[in-house]
Chains A and B, each alone.
Chain A
Amino acid sequence: MATRLQFENNCEVGVFSKLTNAYCLVAIGGSESFYSIFETELADVIPVVKTSIGGTRIIGRLCAGNKNGLLLPHNTTDQELQHLRNSLPDSVVVQRIEERLSALGNVIACNDHVALAHTDLDRETEELIADVLGVEVFRQTIAGNILVGSYCALSNRGGLVHPHTSIEDLDELSTLLQIPLVAGTVNRGSEVIAAGMTVNDWTAFCGSDTTATELSVIESVFKLREAQPSAIVDEMRKSLIDSYV
């Protein structure tokens, strides 16, 4: 189910949080209601961890992760790194990487099987992504934008991309990622999808400006309506429809 919420009057919830199938990171300093909405939804299924990265609250855009691992930028402090290592499940590999493009959340979009990367990413970083996150990495652009992490939101069951993505691009990406993709907006017409929402296999959190239409598109492409957390273990990826229109 998709939930609408805001962080201190700001609808960009994907900036202040990071949601995966194994854990959820939330920025500190928000009101308790922000934190508690995550807790209510995610309850005992996955840990909800309050943290900062490099002293900032924009954790969703600085880190990239999935159920296998979490990548942190070079400006993460040692205390934050330690805190994350302690709070996250042992199966999650937490790694700090030296990369010039330090907003990893903006340059990497990933789910548990595949990742899209910024075209100018270091070769070493690409290898690290493949190792730590256990994914196959593709250098791609979305609607001509190289910040792939900002303009799409991916889960294992579907993806939402920039509204101006052409049909050919949609087809190509869908084939690469092996999931259905839809071009749409979030937060009442905002094109920066990943900043406006965060999603995993059974739930999504969107900014409170998201219209009902946008919400229904999100719920249908990510298949949130019938999803139960316990049912998502390792599904066989069927050959799905390549793209919705």
Chain B
Amino acid sequence: MTPNVKRPRRKLVARPVTFSPFARSAAHLASAYMIKRQMIENKLHESCQHTPNGKCCGQRNIDETDSDSDEESSEGVVQADFAFFDPKPDDFHGVKTLVQTFLDNEEWNLSGFVDLILEQTTVGTVVKLEDEDDDGLFSVVTALNLGRYKASDIYMQLALELDHKCMKELEEYILSVCHESNLVEQLRLLFSKRARDVGLLVSQRVVNLPPQLLPPLYDALFDEVSWAVEDEPTEELRNSFRFKTYLIVTKIYKHKKANGKLEKKADNEEEPVIYVKAEDELFHELSSWSFSFPLKIQHVTSSEASIYLLIFNNILCPRTLPSFSFFTLIFLFGTLRANTKAPVTVPSAVSYNVNLLVSAEELRINGVGYGSRSRQNPHIPTAVALSDRR
């Protein structure tokens, strides 16, 4: 197996459900061939948007106008071909920059954490330019099993002490910022007894990454998780990807409403919460519970977002579900496809909600990008200029 081969993961056609290893490998080959053919047909332009029907819609004229001009003209656009790669040790600096403010300005073993992300080549994606020489990393997405990095006995504890204390520090930080006592107990449970079923979803990207990349990116992640459940070499590793719960740590902007102050008429348009990453809004709604806490880092914001002065970190815990039915939830961001037959029966109430959400989202996917529900403008994140400089 060639470890560093570029595997574009833009699934454009529904993959058949397969159960036997032979059928699986046949399906793999078939889909790889399809992808290659489709790649030759539609180049991975930023402007290409794929609807559930497999049609290419919403071709923006990004690549036609001023593509060769410099960035000086305000209309000048840059054409870029993005590609998805497996994490490699060489990506260390890029990933570290993206994950720098993962835990606010807390001092913790960040390099160790980045190493853990890069070690896990089977699940996880980095987004770079298609040209292999470029080192610039635009996004990293991965899911880490919390229980995997825990020591089962005292000897392992000593061995893991140095390498994986980043996970311990992460858990301690999360426990320390949670101010709701009932949730603290739940968190403690998640970090100790149920750690084997918990996946930490790490998704960081540059602010102006084209949103068209996001559905394939998340599709790729959850595909890899389901493949890992079947394909990992050892039993332990396979089980470690059977996530029942995902934990997401992310940043949002919350409107600073001073209590008791009357809002100006103009502010009626303003929303209480702005999600830096569009998918966070969906995750938030789907989550079982969440809490937010203030960040200590001061962000320099543009005037548009200046009213959103308080910045909160949101920790979401999506619905605890058997893993297959969770996949049906996630499909609503990307190309809808045939439901996988879950071996575990899903409670009817949950499936009802799933169906509702799915149908609501179907309408919106046909729009520009897959922006959030309440706004048509998916570019809100770019209006908010984030900078860590004081």
Contacts and interface: CB of A to CB of B under 8 A. Distances in A.
Contact of B107 (A31, A188, A190): A31
B107 A9 contact: yes
A232 B93 CA distance: 37
Contacts of B110: 9
A9 B92 contact: no
Interface residues of A, number: 12
**Dominant SS among interface residues on chain A:** loop
Given A208-B111, A209-B111, A9 B105 contact: yes
B107 A6 contact: yes
B31 interface: no
Contact of A8 (B92, B93, B107, B111): B107
B93 A189 contact: yes
Contacts of A33: 107
Contacts of A31: 107
**Dominant SS among interface residues on chain B:** loop
Interface string A167-209: 0000000000000000000001110000000000000000011
B100 interface: yes
Interface string B80-124: 000000000000110000001000011110110000000000000
A8 to B, nearest CB: 6
A208 B108 CA distance: 12
Interface residues of B, number: 9
B222 to A, nearest CB: 30
Interface in A37-82: none
B108 A190 contact: no
A162 B330 CA distance: 47
Contacts of A8: 105, 107
Nearest to A10: B100
Interface in A15-31: 31
A31 B107 CA distance: 9
A4 B373 CA distance: 48
Interface in A203-234: 208-209
A190 B105 contact: no
A45 B193 CA distance: 52
A10 B105 CA distance: 10
Contacts of B111: 11, 188, 208-209
A190 B93 CA distance: 9
Contacts of B106: 9
A11 B364 CA distance: 44
Between A8, A9, A189, the greatest number of chain B beta carbons within 10 A of the residue's beta carbon is seen for A9
Contacts of A11: 111
Contacts of B92: 188-189
A9 B93 contact: no
Contacts of B93: 188-190
B44 to A, nearest CB: 29
Nearest to B110: A9
A190 B111 CA distance: 14
A2 B92 CA distance: 23
Contacts of B107: 6, 8-9, 31, 33
A31 B105 CA distance: 11
Contacts of B100: 9-10
A11 B97 CA distance: 11
A11 B107 CA distance: 12
B10 to A, nearest CB: 31
B111 to A, nearest CB: 5
Contacts of A189: 92-93
A208 B162 CA distance: 14
Nearest to A188: B92
Contacts of A188: 92-93, 111
A10 B99 CA distance: 12
Nearest to B103: A9
A113 B172 CA distance: 50
A208 B107 CA distance: 12
Nearest to B389: A56
B87 to A, nearest CB: 16
A95 to B, nearest CB: 27
A227 to B, nearest CB: 28
A9 B110 CA distance: 7
B316 to A, nearest CB: 24
A79 B93 CA distance: 37
A188 B100 CA distance: 16
A102 to B, nearest CB: 17
B105 to A, nearest CB: 6
A20 B111 CA distance: 29
A197 to B, nearest CB: 16
A103 to B, nearest CB: 15
Between B100, B106, B107, B110, the greatest number of chain A beta carbons within 10 A of the residue's beta carbon is seen for B107
A197 B205 CA distance: 28
Nearest to B100: A9
Contacts of A6: 107
Nearest to A209: B111
A208 B109 CA distance: 10
Interface string B134-151: 000000000000000000
Given A10-B100, A188-B111, 17 more contacts: A6-B107, A8-B105, A8-B107, A9-B100, A9-B105, A9-B106, A9-B107, A9-B108, A11-B111, A31-B107, A33-B107, A188-B93, A189-B92, A189-B93, A190-B93, A208-B111, A209-B111
17 contacts: A8-B105, A8-B107, A9-B100, A9-B105, A9-B106, A9-B108, A9-B110, A10-B100, A11-B111, A31-B107, A188-B92, A188-B93, A188-B111, A189-B92, A190-B93, A208-B111, A209-B111
